[in-house]
Structure 1
Amino acid sequence: MPNPAEEQNPFDTISELPYRLPPFDRIESAHYRPAFERGMADQRAEVEAIATDPEPPTFENTVVALERSGQLLHRVAAVFFNQASSDSDDEIQAIQAEVSPKLAAHSDAIHLDGRLFARIDALLGSADDLDPESRRLLERTHLGFVRAGAGLSAEQQDRLRAVNEELSGLETAFQNKLLADTNASAVVVDDAAQLAGLSADAVTAAAETARERGLDGKHVITLGLPSGQPVLTSLTDRGLRERIHRASVGRGANGNEHDTRETAVRIATLRAERAALFGHPDHATYVLEDRTAQTPAAVHDMLGKLTPAAVANAHAEAAQLQAAIGDEFELRAWDWAHYSDQVRRATYDIDAAELRPYFELDRVLRDGVFFAAGKLYGLSFTERHDLVAYHPDARVFEVSNADGSGLGLFIGDFFTRDSKRGGAWMNSFVDQSALHGTQAVVVNNLNIVKPPAGEPALLTFDEVNTMFHEFGHALHGLFSDVTYPTFSGTHVLRDFVEFPSQVNEMWAVWPEVLANYAVHHETGAPLPQDLVQRLLDSQIWGEGFATTEYLAATLLDLAWHEISAGTVVDDPLAFEAAALERAGVALDAVPPRYRTSYFAHIFAGGYSAGYYSYIWSEVLDADTVEWFKENGGLRRENGDHFRRTLLSRGGSVDAMQAFRDFRGRDPQIEPLLVRRGLAG
């Protein structure tokens, strides 16, 4: 008997909703498996037709035909993997565990098809006859096949298939185990008096979380993805701070069924083996060969310019914090945020909690993020209550150009929930492409604690900054103006993708923007100008800690991915400790931003040997901020130039050439050193 869900599968046809928004109100979990199976079968048939085409290979009948293939598979994958990250459950996790290895094998079947590769290889000689974007597509497609193993022997390809399939399953397992252990590690507080220092709305939210978990009368502190937890800034109870910190840094290493350590080791060793198949000494070398950095040595050279000064700054900050504590106890990691805030307050007369009433979520979004995009790019935003997203908390906005023409859709999913992984990110449901006649549909996911019904969502300044950052990714996707979906929006080299989003952070504190959104949610009073100046002055404080915790995670990522094939790691936490000590960033009071057991970016998120990308991109970002300041800041002319020369081009041009087209020269590191207090 046919499956009704299979007969009426909403993925089978192109959505008729505006901008091809997926019909979320009709999508059920039962639709995913059959849609994936049919999508893979359809693309296999399309690829077979290309590979067996009796006509001589041409750019159109081979490369463009390949670019057109797999549309059903793309539709279902875009929706499914966003849900797997933002609104997962046991069924979704089971589907992901089943489908991910199949997708890895499906990709290998295409990229290891010798007939298909022969057709692509034969076209390289005619690349000069193509327009620049088409020539780049041919060259990148060819490179993609080579890097996927098209040039390996049959025996090597067989082993590569097995490695890729196992890795796919392990990366999914890491993500699912981490989500489960993060939820299980939430800290239950029996005595409300221990919550002294938290704002009233934060206490209420913790009580609501406890009630939702069946723990009426208690409070639950959930954990964000990084080591440092925001509540540590405010809590005065040192014992509770320690409990929360230990719960955070212990995730994935609790010896239970959610322990991720063996999974992480297996992932790293398999990646090393795969790199060896391609003749590389390690995974980092293999990865960086196709990045703007090009080599691990280049990354280490850049990090080497930052690490000594950052660690020295962190030690200097620690001395100031110890002075604030006195002789009562020795500064520990769970004390840092709390006393750092005290020193910040004493030095700059600024209190993080004092700022939150001025940062109400909807006001930040509309009068901050959207306002800046309107001034800089002429965009306008209309909330589409008639369009349904994948979760009740997710909101849909139509984005229009200055001339009124539609640009695409933006979905904002801002609140944390047990079904959502930690952190913040951007996904794309529909990629802009002239080939398919599509415009972008993008989503930003954040993890802001949801207030009780009727209460305002008040943000920390870090959360405000994150909202601007993720919207920078959204703009990169929305502004895309390319022919081929391979190059659409954020489909750029990994160590370039964070650059536009980091640039967008500058508008969070731009005077005209800040004045427009930073308004007290009860009184309507603007953020006092003296407080604004103190906020700006205080931003240099804590850069020693922030840079060191980031560099520690970056160097840990490289350590895991510079192991050679055959390396045996018996104790991953001992390996981690040795790597941090060797890199000169082993500070007890400054743990890495992510430790091995919950480093989702590198073991489940596509940033393996690439977490350096944030600081690599920040070199470009800091230099770009200087350009905006030199040219008058928040002006349409500046926005249009940035959009035209860089944001709209996606991956259709060389990344560094796009930067040079925008900036007029190569990037310089000095603005970053000044920003992070490392210039001295």
Structure 2
Amino acid sequence: MTTTNPLLAESPLPYALPPFEAIREEHFLPAFEEAIQAHLAEVAAISGSTEPATFANTLESLERSGVLLDRVRRVFDNAAGAHLTPGLREIEPKVNAMLAAHEDAVHLDAALYSRIKALYETREDLGLDPESLRLVERYHTRFRRAGAELDERGRARLRELNARIAAESTAFGQNLLAANEAGALVLDDPAQLSGLSPDAVAAAAENARRLGHEGAWVLSLRNFSNQFELAVLDDREVRRRFLRASLDRAQDTNLPLAKSLAVLRAERAALLGYDSHAAYVVADNTAGSTRAVTDLLARLVPPAVANARREADALADIAGGEVAAWDWAYWSEKVRKERYDVDQAALRPYFELDRVLREGVFHAAREVYGITLTERPDLPGYHPDVRVFEVFDADGSELGLFLADFFSRPTKRGGAWMNSLVVRSELLGGRPVVVNNHNIAAPAPGEPALLTFAQVKTLFHEFGHALHALFSRVRHPYFAATAVPRDFVEFPSQVNEMWALWPDVLERYARHHETGEPLPADLVTRMEQAARFGQGFATVEYLAAALLDWAWHSLPAGEDPGDPLEFEARALREAGLDLPAIPPRYRTSYFTHIFNSGYSAGYYSYIWSEVLDADTTEWFTARPERRRENGEVFRDRLLSKGGSVDPLAAFAQVLGRPPRVEPLLTRRGLDGAEGA
């Protein structure tokens, strides 16, 4: 099997880049079967050892085990998100069921846990270095939270719950992929596209061609509620139809699944000794308690709503009456033009994808961290759209590979994200191979891909995740790359967004794609002012989603949430966020972060991490002449550490103190300053 299945052999390519050209759909299931059996044999050898447990023969051996499974899983996980073909869609439920059962088999191995617990109870006497000591503590916590201390009846029920949760989560994601495609808005009259820039109209025509609607124009749905095009489409009825398609998608298929997942997770949490799934999740995050999360969110709601109401008044003034949800983004653009002379559509010609990438994202990384990237067209990606770059450190040494997959397609889930295909650790060696995925509308053949500024920020954001993985310098694979608490993982990526508006970075990439003229300096100031105007909407939209997630996952075991739409409405009303003109950034039926990803009871982490981000951005900005020096401090003391140290301790190592919330309040206009 190893000689015929490329997933089961070490890659011959540089940096162990998976040999995508040789991998076929039919390779995955047999590769998973063999890799799981190999890992089970390795675990059995550890748990069945007659030697007393030591760090080397137990935890270090566990860290060396499962290499084959990890390789297969990383390739499959990337494909499931970025290019879920019909064949992969068929096997995805089988794969996820196999993995859920396998994880239970490992975590519920009583003999293995006995060895881990023995090490944990004598950890202070083992003479371990700080990272190894942390590994003992983390393994003990992970196995305990995975049910290792349950009795046999409890373990049996836990296996059932995990199997159902894995199956229903997979179904939720697949349903949403289908609903996004079915909900795309097909337009057959060019007048209906009035307001879109010429390149956006051409991209809609190209999208229609790729989806089989030759001669029409198609606006595809992205994962979130308020689609970008709502800000510029002049036809109010088209805006209404597009937003309704966004808000109502997947309700028939995904609302029952969301309710079931919330109930199942609540039961699992109770089985493991927690009051709710939210309590279970947050106990292992930096927040530490549900009260800490609830208090932060509650503190932000009143000023955010007040700010949004001021914005609504400004919109009503220029619109000549109250605005509906499908009007908000459109009239916000009108206010920005009137007050600040900022036209988002007119900015697009200054943000050409390749220039933003090379002269913005890559240039900033060179200026801050000293790294350089060189494109490697000779190395294959998993899809023709994928571009591969080799990354070099400041001293010229090879650092890893960066893969960029920019354009949307029917087989790709919505949103933007980072995956690691290969992670580096001192124990196992290797060098990082990371992927950034985006969902930018593909331009017409021969035309440039022009971005909104929001998409520019997303490029910087996702590359921040990539840097976190590329800079990883830990001994143990457990801590490698972005293996940090969920409410800390967004912090480095949010910090990286700051370079999008750093003057000498912006001056390099923000140039008109036809004339080469730079973005006018005074326009940058107006952009920042205009962005502050929209913070009321943006914060309410986000908080509504975060508190909706929190409501679903604060359910105690055994409680029936009732009708999902009524539950959603009640949760928003009780949070003080039932503003009809500002729907949550994600509604229940397409909230893939929490029902098909790792953010269940964790969507709060974006704002939690932004507290750290805003504080760190202020630290960088206060010392502009030390940008490179501070970049090295940030890399060495935080980014390179992965999960090998306490995250907040790493933060304090950089700034010299705990985080402050005041910079976040100022950034979002929640400090009492006028936001509109």
* TM-score relative to the length of structure 2: 0.98
Partner Cα separation in structure 1 for residue 239 and residue 625 of structure 2: 41
Q: Which residue of 2 aligns with 1:260?
A: 254
Q: Which residue of 2 aligns with 1:110?
A: 106
Superimposed CA distance per residue, residues 170-218 of structure 1 (whole angstroms, 9 cap, x where no aligned partner)? 1100000000001000011121111100011111111122222322221
Question: Is 2:221–2:227's contact at 8 Å kept on the other side of the alignment?
Answer: yes
Partner Cα separation in structure 1 for residue 429 and residue 446 of structure 2: 42
- Counterparts of 1:75-94 in structure 2, within 5 Å, are 75-94=71-90
User: In angstroms, what is the RMSD of aligned CA positions?
Assistant: 1.0
Question: Is 1:6–1:31's contact at 8 Å kept on the other side of the alignment?
Answer: no
Q: Which residue of 1 aligns with 2:185?
A: 187
Counterpart residue identity of residue 114, structure 1? A
Superimposed CA distance per residue, residues 578-597 of structure 1 (whole angstroms, 9 cap, x where no aligned partner)? 00000000000000000000
Question: Secondary structure, in 3 states, of the residue corresponding to 1:458?
Answer: coil
Counterpart residue identity of residue 597, structure 1? S
Superimposed CA distance per residue, residues 39-80 of structure 1 (whole angstroms, 9 cap, x where no aligned partner)? 100000000000111211110110011111111111111011
Q: Percent identity?
A: 57
Question: Secondary structure, in 3 states, of the residue corresponding to 1:224?
Answer: coil
Q: Which residue of 1 aligns with 2:571?
A: 579
- State which of 48, 51, 71 in structure 1 corresponds to 2:47: 51
Question: Is 2:207–2:441's contact at 8 Å kept on the other side of the alignment?
Answer: no
- State which of 570, 574, 582 in structure 2 corresponds to 1:590: 582
Task: For residue 127 of structure 1, report the CA deviation from its aligned partner.
Answer: 2.1
Counterpart residue identity of residue 313, structure 1? N
Question: Secondary structure, in 3 states, of the residue corresponding to 1:429?
Answer: strand
Partner Cα separation in structure 2 for residue 495 and residue 479 of structure 1: 20
- State which of 270, 278, 281 in structure 2 corresponds to 1:276: 270
Question: Secondary structure, in 3 states, of the residue corresponding to 1:50?
Answer: helix
Q: Which residue of 1 aligns with 2:301?
A: 307
Task: For residue 634 of structure 1, report the CA deviation from its aligned partner.
Answer: 6.5
Partner Cα separation in structure 1 for residue 114 and residue 462 of structure 2: 40
Question: Is 2:2–2:8's contact at 8 Å kept on the other side of the alignment?
Answer: no
Partner Cα separation in structure 2 for residue 211 and residue 474 of structure 1: 33
Task: For residue 568 of structure 1, report the CA deviation from its aligned partner.
Answer: 1.3
- State which of 34, 39, 55 in structure 1 corresponds to 2:35: 39
Which blocks of at least 5 consecutive residues in structure 2 are unaligned? Answer: none
Partner Cα separation in structure 2 for residue 633 and residue 525 of structure 1: 27
Partner Cα separation in structure 2 for residue 586 and residue 479 of structure 1: 42
Q: Which residue of 2 aligns with 1:508?
A: 500
Partner Cα separation in structure 1 for residue 216 and residue 18 of structure 2: 40
- State which of 315, 320, 328 in structure 2 corresponds to 1:321: 315
Task: For residue 126 of structure 1, report the CA deviation from its aligned partner.
Answer: 3.6
Partner Cα separation in structure 2 for residue 445 and residue 150 of structure 1: 36
Partner Cα separation in structure 2 for residue 408 and residue 98 of structure 1: 32
**Aligned residues between the structures:** 670
Question: Secondary structure, in 3 states, of the residue corresponding to 1:260?
Answer: helix
Question: Is 1:430–1:441's contact at 8 Å kept on the other side of the alignment?
Answer: yes
Q: Which residue of 1 aligns with 2:520?
A: 528
Partner Cα separation in structure 2 for residue 53 and residue 23 of structure 1: 36
Partner Cα separation in structure 2 for residue 306 and residue 64 of structure 1: 44
Is 1:661 matched with 2:653?
yes
Superimposed CA distance per residue, residues 390-414 of structure 1 (whole angstroms, 9 cap, x where no aligned partner)? 0111111010011100111000101
Question: Is 2:82–2:412's contact at 8 Å kept on the other side of the alignment?
Answer: yes
- State which of 340, 347, 350 in structure 1 corresponds to 2:339: 347
Is 1:647 matched with 2:639?
yes
- Counterparts of 1:222-301 in structure 2, within 5 Å, are 222-253=220-251, 255=252, 259-301=253-295
Question: Secondary structure, in 3 states, of the residue corresponding to 1:11?
Answer: helix
Counterpart residue identity of residue 176, structure 1? Q
Superimposed CA distance per residue, residues 199-253 of structure 1 (whole angstroms, 9 cap, x where no aligned partner)? 1111111112222232222111101110010001110000000000000001111
Which blocks of at least 5 consecutive residues in structure 1 are unaligned? Answer: none
Counterpart residue identity of residue 61, structure 2? A
Counterpart residue identity of residue 218, structure 1? A
Is 1:623 matched with 2:615?
yes
Q: Which residue of 1 aligns with 2:600?
A: 608
Task: For residue 266 of structure 1, report the CA deviation from its aligned partner.
Answer: 0.7
Question: Is 2:482–2:642's contact at 8 Å kept on the other side of the alignment?
Answer: yes
Question: Is 2:203–2:444's contact at 8 Å kept on the other side of the alignment?
Answer: yes
Is 1:391 matched with 2:389?
no
Counterpart residue identity of residue 219, structure 2? I
Superimposed CA distance per residue, residues 551-592 of structure 1 (whole angstroms, 9 cap, x where no aligned partner)? 000000000000111111331011000000000000000000
Q: Which residue of 2 aligns with 1:71?
A: 67
Question: Secondary structure, in 3 states, of the residue corresponding to 1:496?
Answer: helix
Partner Cα separation in structure 1 for residue 367 and residue 310 of structure 2: 40
Question: Is 1:111–1:117's contact at 8 Å kept on the other side of the alignment?
Answer: yes
Question: Is 1:6–1:34's contact at 8 Å kept on the other side of the alignment?
Answer: no
Counterpart residue identity of residue 404, structure 1? G
Question: Is 1:367–1:516's contact at 8 Å kept on the other side of the alignment?
Answer: yes
Superimposed CA distance per residue, residues 416-469 of structure 1 (whole angstroms, 9 cap, x where no aligned partner)? 111100000000000111111111100000100000111000000000000000
Q: Which residue of 2 aligns with 1:332?
A: 324
Question: Secondary structure, in 3 states, of the residue corresponding to 2:186?
Answer: strand
Question: Secondary structure, in 3 states, of the residue corresponding to 1:587?
Answer: coil
Q: Which residue of 1 aligns with 2:140?
A: 142
- State which of 204, 210, 220 in structure 1 corresponds to 2:202: 204
Bigger Cα displacement from structure 2, 664-673 vs 90-99: 90-99
Task: For residue 536 of structure 1, report the CA deviation from its aligned partner.
Answer: 2.2
- State which of 402, 406, 424 in structure 1 corresponds to 2:394: 402
Partner Cα separation in structure 2 for residue 98 and residue 468 of structure 1: 35
- State which of 494, 519, 540 in structure 1 corresponds to 2:486: 494
Counterpart residue identity of residue 444, structure 1? N
Question: Is 1:260–1:597's contact at 8 Å kept on the other side of the alignment?
Answer: yes
Partner Cα separation in structure 2 for residue 623 and residue 665 of structure 1: 11
Partner Cα separation in structure 1 for residue 524 and residue 550 of structure 2: 38
Partner Cα separation in structure 2 for residue 200 and residue 570 of structure 1: 47
Question: Is 1:375–1:634's contact at 8 Å kept on the other side of the alignment?
Answer: no
Task: For residue 153 of structure 1, report the CA deviation from its aligned partner.
Answer: 1.1
Task: For residue 6 of structure 1, report the CA deviation from its aligned partner.
Answer: 7.0
* TM-score relative to the length of structure 1: 0.98
Counterpart residue identity of residue 263, structure 1? L
Bigger Cα displacement from structure 2, 569-578 vs 508-517: 569-578
Counterpart residue identity of residue 141, structure 2? L
Partner Cα separation in structure 1 for residue 19 and residue 56 of structure 2: 32
Task: For residue 541 of structure 1, report the CA deviation from its aligned partner.
Answer: 1.2
Bigger Cα displacement from structure 2, 594-603 vs 10-19: 10-19
Question: Secondary structure, in 3 states, of the residue corresponding to 2:541?
Answer: helix
Partner Cα separation in structure 2 for residue 11 and residue 336 of structure 1: 49
